[in-house]
């Protein structure tokens, strides 16, 4: 884990700190939690220690609770929405195959008999690869949700007078939402090895940001 960076600010803000877990060492591999022992001198150490369970390197193997909400889809056609998988380089196929195996083992996806299907490819991240599905055809037939977004200036004004300011980056945030059971076949995608479908919310669906933001707004407004 990278060192927490404490920056002394003017009197209105005492400390700014960031926690960024590593994926190689400095973590409890068995539990997937992040070790915080090296931050005992940090003024926020007691808070971090109290809530240490939220600092995870990987999601639980079980599906998330539906108490947090689930992603629902409505499409405007009864026809199959299918786009053929295009060819990938051998290197990309190998990466996709490994990612699929990981997601199957984690219970995020399952083999799919769905009539629908989106092509799959992968893109390079700063560390590792990200699997991507071309859901444009499905999105073109999806009834869009409208979600009023708070204006950033209004949010900043509401922060006036606060003592602590923080930011967070959720671990696979979309994967913390289940798909509605009846909509799971709509998430179907293809690879060179077969077809699969998501049990959790995948990236790329048109209304995914609305589902995610609705829950986040509800959570931080408490």
Q: How many domains does the chain have?
A: 2
**Once rounded to an integer, what is the mean pLDDT over residues 35-40?**
75
pLDDT, tens only, 208-222: 999 988 888 887 774
Residues 137 and 181 both lie in one domain? yes
Q: Are strands 189-191 and 109-111 parallel, antiparallel or unpaired?
A: unpaired
Give the pLDDT confidence score for residue 107 in this predicted structure.
92
The pLDDT of residue 61 is 73
Q: How far apart are CA 43 and CA 6, in angstroms?
A: 9
Q: Which residue has the higher pLDDT, 155 or 17?
A: 155
- The pLDDT assigned to 33 comes to 53
pTM of the predicted model as reported, rounded to 2 decimal places: 0.74
Q: Give the residue among 177, 188, 181 at the shortest CA–CA distance from 219.
A: 177
Burial tier of 127 (Cβ tally within 10 Å: 0-12, 13-18, 19+) = exposed
Q: What is the mean pLDDT of the chain?
A: 81
Per-residue model confidence (pLDDT) at position 48 = 81
The answer, yes or no, to whether residue 15 has pLDDT greater than 70, is: no
Is the domain of 72 the same as that of 38?
no
- Please compute the mean of the pLDDT values over residues 23-46 and round it to a whole number: 61
Query: Could you tell me if 22 and 108 lie in one domain?
Result: no
| Whether pLDDT at 16 is above 80 | no
Together in a domain, 109 and 183: yes
pLDDT tens digits, one per residue of 61-111? 778 778 878 999 999 999 999 999 999 999 999 999 999 999 999 899 999
Both 124 and 154 in one domain: the answer is yes
* Range list of H helices, the chain: 45-50, 90-106, 136-140, 152-158, 208-220
Question: Do 147 and 197 fall into the same domain?
Answer: yes
Residue 19 lies in domain? 1-58
Sign of the C-alpha dihedral computed for residues 83, 88, 93 and 95 taken in this order: negative
Q: For a pLDDT cut of 70, what percent of the chain falls above it?
A: 83
Quote the pLDDT of residue 62: 74
Indicate if 27 and 78 belong to the same structural domain.
no
Any residues with CB less than 8 A from the CB of 164 and at least 6 apart, and which?
A: 14
- Structure confidence at residue 55 (pLDDT): 75
Same structural domain, 197 and 115: yes
Shared domain check, 121 and 44: no
């Amino acid at each position: 884990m990278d060192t927490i960076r404490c920056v002394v600010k003017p009197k209105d803000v005492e400390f700014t700190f960031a926690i960024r877990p590593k994926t190689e060492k400095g973590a409890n591999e068995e539990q997937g939690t992040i070790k915080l022992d090296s931050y005992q001198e940090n003024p926020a150490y007691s808070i971090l220690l109290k809530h240490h369970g939220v600092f995870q390197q990987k999601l639980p193997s079980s599906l998330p609770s539906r108490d947090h909400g689930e992603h629902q889809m409505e499409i405007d056609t009864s026809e199959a929405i299918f786009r053929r998988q295009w060819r990938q380089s051998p290197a990309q196929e190998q990466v996709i195959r490994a990612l699929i195996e990981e997601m199957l083992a984690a219970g995020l996806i399952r083999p799919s008999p769905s009539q629908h299907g989106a092509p799959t490819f992968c893109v390079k991240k700063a560390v590792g690869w990200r699997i991507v599905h071309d859901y444009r055809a499905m999105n073109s037939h999806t009834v869009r949700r409208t979600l009023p977004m708070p204006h950033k200036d209004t949010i900043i004004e509401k922060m006036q007078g606060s003592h602590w300011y923080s930011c967070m980056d959720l671990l696979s945030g979309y994967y913390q939402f289940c798909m509605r059971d009846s909509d799971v076949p709509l998430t179907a995608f293809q690879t060179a090895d077969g077809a699969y479908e998501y049990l959790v919310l995948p990236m790329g669906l048109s209304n995914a940001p609305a589902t995610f933001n609705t829950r986040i707004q509800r959570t931080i407004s408490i």
